[in-house]
A and B are shown apart, each in its own frame.
Chain A
Amino acid sequence: MSREQVVVEQTRRAFQTGRSRPLNFRIQQLKKLQSFLQERQKDIVDAQKKDLSKNKYVTELFEMLILEAELKLAISRLAEWAAPRPVEKNLLTLTDEVYIWPEPLGVVLIIGPWNYPWCLTLLPLVGAIAAGNAAIIKPSEISLNSSKVMEEHLPQYLDKDLYPVVAGGVPETQELLKHKFDHIFYTGSTTVGKLVMEAAARHLTPVTLELGGKSPCYIDKNCDIATACRRITWGKFLNCGQTCIAPDYILCESVIQSRVLEEIKKCIKEFYTDNPKASDDYGCIINQRHFKRIVSLMEGSTVAFGGDVDESQRYIGPTVLKGVTGESRVMEEEIFGPLLPIITVDGVEDAIQFINNREKPLVLYVFSHDTKLIKRMIAGTSSGAVLANDCISHFVDSALPFGGVGYSGMGRYRGRHSFDQLSNLRSCLIKQLNLEVVNSMRYPPHTGRRLAWAQFFLLTQINVRRVGYVLIMLAGLTAFVVQKYLR
C-alpha cells in the first residue's frame, strides 16, 4: 500500500469519527492556524525569500494579511454560515419546516500552487476546516522551501490526522489522484487542471479548478494614463509577473502607445530603481524551466524596455514588448513572467473582438473614466472577474467570489463562497404525519376532480409575507372596529 493511500484512509477514518464537525472544534483549529501564521512567520518569510526572492514585506502584504483576514472572517461568521438556512415556502408546505442544511462533504484534497504557496494553499484550507471537512494538503514541490515548512510545522498546530500535509512531486500527486475524495480543490495550470478533472471524474468527485489564462488589460485613450500605468505596472511585476491575475497583455490605441510605454518605464524605475536586479522588491523566476520558457516567449517581438536576463540568478528584468500581434509567440500562452506586451487596437470594439477570439480569461482589466465604455466592455466579453481601473485588488475583497470560467477555471471561493463550495447544501423538508386528506389529490385512482385540486395547490403562487401583511392589516382593522364599537 502506498504512502498516499495510507494517508487518505487515515484521513477518512479521522473524518468518520465526527470530530471535525462541532463548531467549537472548527473554530479551535482555525485559531490554531492563526497561531501557526503568527509564530512561524519568520520561517515562512525565509522560505519565500529562498523560493521566489520575495522580501518580507511582500510576503506579509500579499500572503499573510489576506490569510489573517480570511481566518478572522471565518471565525466570526462560522455560526452564521453553518446554521440552517430557511427558504421560501409554498401553499403545500406552509406548516412544514423547510431549510437548507450545510454539511461537510468529507475529505477534501487541496493541491496548492507555487507562486503564492501560502495564500493559495491555505485559503482553501480555511474554507475546508470551516465547513467541517477533513483535508489533505498537497503543497507544490516547486516552491520547495515553503512546502518543507508546511510539511514540518503545520501538523504541530493542526490536527494531524484530519489535516495531513503530503509533500511530493508529480508521481505523488498522481498517486493521490487515483483515490476517492469528496472534493478536489486545484490551483494551477489549465493543462494539469484537465488531468485533475479527468481523475476526479472516475470517482464522480466535484472539483474547484482555479486555473489561469491571458488576462487582457484595455487602456482607454482618454483616461488618466499615468495612474493607470502605475497600477498596471504594480500588478504586472508583482512577484515577477508570476500571478494568475496579473495583467498579461495591454490593449490600447496606437496614439497612446508611446505615452503608455513612457509611464510604465517611469513606474518601473520608481518601484525597482534603475537596477531592478539589485532591488529587494523585485523577485526572480521560480526555476530554470520557467526561466527558459519565458525568455523564449520574447522571440519575434521588439523589446521596448528591459529584456535583460541573468540565467544564473533566474533574473528577467521588467520588460515591455511592442510590435506584438495576436499571432506573436508571446500571445500563444499565459506569460506568467515579467514580460508586458502592448498590442494596438482600433478602439473598444476592436479590443472586445480581440478578447472574444481567445479563451475566457480569469480577469479582465479596463482602464477608463467613461462608465459607458466600461459597461460596454463588461457586456461584450466574458471572464472570471472584471476589475475596472485597478489591478489585482478584487482578490482582496472576500465578499466577491473568486474564480474562472471556461479554460480559466470552474467553481469559486473566498470568504463565505469557500464555505459554500466545500459544503453539501442539503435540502430538508420536515412534514408531519397529519393532514393526510391534503395528499389524497395525488393518490390513485386518479380523477379529474383530484387533478383539479392538485393543480390549484401546486400552481397557486402564494407569497407568504404578503399574506402575513394582509392578515396583520385585517387584525388591526378588526381591533379598531371592535374598540370603536366598545366605546
Chain B
Amino acid sequence: MARQTLERAREAFVSGRARPLEFRLQQLHALQRMLTEKETEISTALKQDLNRSQYDTPLLELIGIENEIKLAIEKLSDWAAPRPVQKNLLTISDEVYIQPEPLGVVLIIGAWNYPWALTLLPLVGAIAAGNAAVVKPSELSECSSLLLRALLPRYLDKDLYPVVTGGVPETQELLRLRFDHIFYTGSSTVGKLVMEAAARHLTPVTLELGGKSPCYIDKNCDIRIACRRITWGKFVNCGQTCIAPDYILCEPCIQGQVVECIRQTLLEFYGADPKCSADYGRIVNQRHFNRIMSLMEGYTPVVGGQSDSSQCYIAPTVLKDVPPHSRLMQEEIFGPVLPIVAVSDMDDAIQFINEREKPLALYIFCSDKKAVKRMIEETTSGGVTVNDVMMHYTLSSLPFGGVGQSGTGCYHGKHTFDQLSHHRACLVRSLNMERVNTARYPPQDRRRARRVRMALKSPLIDTSKRTLIWAIVATILGVCLFIALLVILLMAAGLNCTCWYWRGFYN
C-alpha cells in the first residue's frame, strides 16, 4: 500500500505540476483554508488526544502554522529565485548562481505532542520548495491523525500530498522505500532507526529529536518572573514538549524560593486542583503515564505528585535535591515532573551540562550579560533562550533544530524551504575567450603553470573587503585627480567663466 502511494506521488512529482510557483501558492492557500474552516474539528480532535483546551489549539499550533503559511506565500518568489553568487576574475563574464530546486518526494513523519504543528510545518516547507510529500502523522494522537487523513485530500492535491496512517509496521514499510528526503520528529531512539533506513538509499534526513533541556537560574536574577516563565513552559501540554525545560539547575540557597514561586504560579495558572482546570492537559496514553510515574518512584515531591491513572492525569510536580545520577536524570522526562538539581555555581552548572548529551535547548535565567555570554560560549545546544523558555521556536528567522543526539538539520521559515530544496550550483560560461584557457591545457610546462598561478593568485581575483575598499579609494582618487586636472587646464586656458569667484579675484 505504501509502495503504491509513493509511486503515485512520484509519478505526480515527475509530471512537473508541483513546480510552478502558482501551483505551490494555490496549495498553500488551500492549506490555510483548511485550518481556518476546520478549526473546531481540529480543536475537538486535540481535546480527545491530549485534553487540549480550545484556546491552546490556536495558541500552540494553529497560529504557528498560519504564520509559516503567510510567510511562505509572501516570500516564495524570493526564496525560489536564483541566488547570485560572488564572482571572481575568472568568472567575471559568466552567470554564476545557486538555483534552489525541489528534491522530489519527501517523507514527513509527524509527532503526537503537537500533531498539527509538527506535521504541517514541514509540509508547508515541502510544498513551498516544490516537492511532493507523503505525510505520516503519529498514531499516538489518533483522532488528529484520522482527521488529517480525512481533511488533507479535500484541500490539497491528493496524489502529491497523500496521508498514510498507521503504526510501527506501516512506518517501517514506508522506511524501506526510497524517498528524496525524510523529515522525522520524535525520539532519538527511533531517529537512529530512521537514519539507518535512510542510509540504505542515501536519503538525506532532518531529525528533530529531543533530550534533556537544562534550565539554569542564577541566584541574582528576578526569581519570581523567571519561575513564572519556566512554569508556563514546563507544564504547557502537560510537559510533553520537546523544548520544555526538562530540569532546573540552581544554587541550594535559592532552591526554596524557586519552589515557592513555582507553587504560587501553578496556583495562578491552574487553580488549587489542576485536574479541574480546562487549561491543564493529560498524558497521551497509559504507556507514557506509567513511564513518567516510574521515574518519580522513590522521591517525595515538594509540589504536586497526585495522579489518576484512569484519566492519565499527573499533577504538576516539582522535586528538589534530585541526585545527578538518578533515573529521573537519565532520560527525557516529557511530562509534568520538574526536578531541581543543586549546583554550586555557574561553572558547576556548565560542567554538569557538558557532561551530558547536547540538548535541544538551553535556558539561562541571569541578568548579568557577561555571565550569560560565557555560559553560551562554554556549552552547546540546538538553541538558546535567555530569560525565557521556548520563545526561540516562535521566531521563524531563527533556524530551529538540534545537534548531536538532539537532532540534525533545522527548519522554520526560509530554513524549511532551504532544507527541503537542492541548492544547485550553476555556472554558465561562454564558448569564446578560449585563449584564456590555454594555460591550463597540457602539455604543461613551467611557463604555462606560472601563468595560471599568476592569474589565480592575482589580488584582482580576490574579492575580499580589502580589495573592494582599495578599488573604491583608487577610483575616488582617480576621479579627484581628473577633476583637479580639468580645473587647472581651464584656469590655465584663462577661461573666466570657470567660476564667478575667480572673476572677482581678477578684478
A residues sitting closer than 8 Å to B (CB atoms) are 16, 18, 55, 57-58, 60-61, 65, 68-69, 72-73, 76-77, 87-90, 92-93, 98, 100-101, 103, 105-106, 182, 190, 193-194, 197-198, 200-202, 204, 206, 209, 211, 223-224, 227-228, 230-231, 234, 270-273, 279-282, 367, 369, 371, 374, 378, 382-390, 393-394, 396-397, 399-402, 405-407, 409-412, 424-434, 436, 439, 442-448, 450-451, 454-455, 458-459, 461
B431 touches A369 (CB 8 A): yes
Q: Which 3 A-B pairs have the closest CB atoms?
A: A446-B55, A281-B442, A57-B444
In the complex, what distance in Å separates the CA atom of A428 from the CA atom of B385? 6
Q: Which residues of A contact B444 (CB under 8 A)?
A: 55, 57-58, 61, 280-281
Q: Which residues of B contact A405 (CB under 8 A)?
A: 103, 422, 424
Interface size class of B (residues with CB under 8 A): 35 or more
Q: B376 interface residue, CB < 8 Å from A?
A: yes
In the complex, what distance in Å separates the CA atom of A356 from the CA atom of B428? 21
In the complex, what distance in Å separates the CA atom of A367 from the CA atom of B431? 8
6 contacts between A and B (CB under 8 A): A224-B432, A378-B424, A411-B204, A424-B382, A427-B384, A433-B222
In the complex, what distance in Å separates the CA atom of A190 from the CA atom of B199? 11
Q: Which residues of A contact B397 (CB under 8 A)?
A: 87-90, 98
Task: Tell me the interface secondary structure of chain A in the complex.
Answer: mixed
Q: Which residues of B contact A382 (CB under 8 A)?
A: 101, 422, 424
In the complex, what distance in Å separates the CA atom of A382 from the CA atom of B426? 11
Q: A69-B457, A197-B195, A387-B426 are in contact. List 18 more A-B contacts (CB 8 A).
A: A65-B453, A89-B395, A89-B397, A227-B431, A227-B432, A386-B425, A390-B427, A429-B392, A430-B387, A431-B386, A433-B222, A433-B225, A433-B367, A436-B228, A443-B228, A445-B270, A445-B279, A451-B58
Q: Which residues of B contact A426 (CB under 8 A)?
A: 376, 380-384, 403
Known interface pairs A389-B430, A397-B427, A399-B85; A433-B99 also in contact (CB < 8 Å):
no
CB-CB contacts below 8 Å: B437-470 with A: 437, 440-446, 448-449, 452-453, 456-457, 462, 464, 466
B376 touches A450 (CB 8 A): no
A433 touches B221 (CB 8 A): yes
Q: Which residues of B contact A87 (CB under 8 A)?
A: 395, 397-398
Task: Tell me the interface secondary structure of chain B in the complex.
Answer: mixed
A279 touches B398 (CB 8 A): no
- Most A CB atoms within 10 A — which of B199, B383, B466? B199
Known interface pairs A228-B431, A426-B383; A279-B443 also in contact (CB < 8 Å):
yes
Q: Which residues of B contact A58 (CB under 8 A)?
A: 442, 444
Nearest-neighbor residue (CB-CB) of A383 within chain B: B424
Known interface pairs A231-B437, A397-B96, A428-B392; A105-B403 also in contact (CB < 8 Å):
yes
Q: B196 interface residue, CB < 8 Å from A?
A: yes
A450 touches B55 (CB 8 A): yes
Q: B177 interface residue, CB < 8 Å from A?
A: no
Contact with A along B131-170 (1 / 0, CB 8 A): 0000000000000000000000000000000000000000
A194 touches B58 (CB 8 A): no
A400 touches B96 (CB 8 A): yes
Q: B12 interface residue, CB < 8 Å from A?
A: no
In the complex, what distance in Å separates the CA atom of A193 from the CA atom of B200? 10
Nearest-neighbor residue (CB-CB) of B445 within chain A: A57
In the complex, what distance in Å separates the CA atom of A312 from the CA atom of B426? 41
Closest Cβ–Cβ distance, residue B264 to chain A (whole Å)? 13
In the complex, what distance in Å separates the CA atom of A106 from the CA atom of B380? 10
In the complex, what distance in Å separates the CA atom of A73 from the CA atom of B86? 13
CB-CB contacts below 8 Å: B353-398 with A: 354, 365, 367, 372, 376, 378, 380-388, 391-392, 394-395, 397-398
Out of A197, A412, A427, which one reaches B199, CB within 8 Å? A197
CB-CB contacts below 8 Å: B224-262 with A: 225-226, 228-229, 232
Nearest-neighbor residue (CB-CB) of A380 within chain B: B16
Out of B64, B103, B376, which one reaches A101, CB within 8 Å? B376
Q: B66 interface residue, CB < 8 Å from A?
A: yes
A431 touches B385 (CB 8 A): yes
Q: Which residues of A contact B191 (CB under 8 A)?
A: 204
Q: Which residues of A contact B378 (CB under 8 A)?
A: 18
Closest Cβ–Cβ distance, residue A301 to chain B (whole Å)? 26
B200 touches A194 (CB 8 A): yes
Nearest-neighbor residue (CB-CB) of A400 within chain B: B425
In the complex, what distance in Å separates the CA atom of A428 from the CA atom of B376? 9
Q: B434 interface residue, CB < 8 Å from A?
A: yes
